[in-house]
Amino acid sequence: MRLLTSLHSADDRPGAVVALDGALSRHELLARAGGVAARLRGLPIVAVDAVPSLSTIVTVTGALLAGVPIVPIPPDAGVLEREHILRDSGATVLPDLPPPAGDVPAEPSANAAALVLYTSGTTGAPKGVVISRAAIAADLDALAGAWQWTADDTLVHGLPLYHVHGLVLGVLGPLRIGSRLIHTGRPTPRAYAESRGSMYFGVPTVWSRIAADPSAARALAPARLLVSGSAPLPVPVFDDLATLTGQSPVERYGMTETLITVSARSDGERRPGHVGLPLPGIGTRLVDETGAPLPNDGRTIGHLQVQGPTLLDGYLRDGGVRPPDLADGWYPTGDVATIGPDGWHRIVGRASTDLIKSGGYRVGAGEVEDALLLHPAVREAAVVGVPHPDLGEQITAFVVAEPVGAAELIDFVAARLAAHKRPRVVHLVGSLPRNAMGKVQKSLLTTE
């Protein structure tokens, strides 16, 4: 199966792939990747230190051409994380050597494993998620339709090359669809503003920083698509981007195990606080704790399950692949959400941290966070449920803000949401702990 179809096209414009360490045409990339593929023959699985560079893109491309599953290792991984990934996967780290030009081998079947992506490890040791070539192709083709993504586009981003957003969408997408790719190394407002693209990818932290730099935001006005993912985009940031760039960002939803499953459309509505509609071929549903279906009424919060061709093959276990635990073919995402009568999805957050059961009510942390962010003094907010002897869980907020009183913020939320959704306690902090993709690590928040 030819996964990276644009590499074989007759179009060989210079600078098809640009990074901080150089640029390659498609045929130059294909030749170098062919050399890597030749070196990989006979290896069952390989790993690459996924620094944001052409060398990483060449190595990943070569492994995909050779049909050898590849494990991208975060360049900032600690010793223990790196050792776990290599031991768990059994992968050989490919040396960073200049590859010779080589013949392009015949690519394997669609069902062959392409990538092993390790989860962030928030609920235990990182797990190796096995993603097939067919799943990647199905997802990229669906996104190409939803976003009207074509070979005429230039994609700009500076996201890490070891996650779905930066690697699968941000690198393999252009190599399949044929669009030009500019990787900025780091996703800074200046780097984005100085790169002329028609599409930009970012996580909420990136977009928040761009929105706070009006000149950088206005420089993106000629682009046709600003895509946000990996975490919910705060509504105030959504609104600021719309004002500064003249267009609302497109939000989408996915995870390592499912790739991208829900998205707003480039030619359709873009709603703040919502991630859109299921992609073609994707099914979604809400269930309660017993697995019983819940209504799509836009209000009821339930556990989100998905099904479709983009799901993982399974997890690496003891030298093999353990299939995921499915509920009648549905994958339990671990996220909670609402679905409206028109099919629009709003992601509340992780069931383990963002669904708060307080005083008999089910409260989504994201709704409270959005309300806090409407206060002009608040820059960042994270809301969690803290064990409470009477309420079960007490709604507790951690806020990065200009000088403001906790009581003022509690009253501010109470005036905008139902009284039972107000935080009972607000902690003013200097910063929120985040991972490389900008997601707040709520397990690290502490009241001490």
Please tell me whether residues 343 and 380 are part of one structural domain: no
> Do 324 and 382 fall within a single domain?
no
Q: Which residue has the tokens 């299939």?
A: 323
- Where does a domain end: 348, 379, 404? 348
Going by pLDDT thresholds of 50, 70 and 90, the confidence category of residue 124 is low
pLDDT, residue 447, reads 63
Predicted confidence (pLDDT) per residue in 186-214, tens digit: 999 999 999 999 999 999 889 989 999 99
Is 142 in the same domain as 214? Answer: yes
Query: Rounded to an integer, what distance in angstroms lies between the CA atom of residue 300 and that of residue 217?
Result: 36
C-alpha 207/C-alpha 262 separation (Å) is: 20
Number of domains in the chain: 2
Give this prediction's pTM. Answer: 0.85
Q: Are residues 378 and 333 in the same domain?
A: no
Query: DSSP letter at 248?
Result: P
Q: Looking at residue 262, what is its pLDDT?
A: 98
- Assess whether 211 and 102 both reside in one domain: yes
Do the strands 17-19 and 392-401 form a parallel or antiparallel pair, or are they unpaired? unpaired
Given a cut of 90, whether residue 388 has pLDDT beyond it is: no
Q: What pLDDT sits at residue 448?
A: 57
Whether 427 shows a pLDDT value over 90: the answer reads: yes
Q: What is the DSSP string of 66-131?
A: HT--EEEEPTT--HHHHHHHHHHH-PEEPP--PPPP-PPPPP--TTSEEEEEE---TTSS--EEEE
Range of the domain at 363: 359-444
What pLDDT shows up at residue 24?
95
Over 60: is that where the pLDDT of 183 sits? Answer: yes
- Compute the C-alpha angle 360/355/272, nearest 5°: 120
How high is the pLDDT of residue 360?
72
Q: What CATH number has the domain bearing residue 197?
A: 3.40.50.12780
Asked if 334 and 432 sit in the same domain, the reply is no
Rounded-to-integer distance, Cα 215 and Cα 201, Å: 18
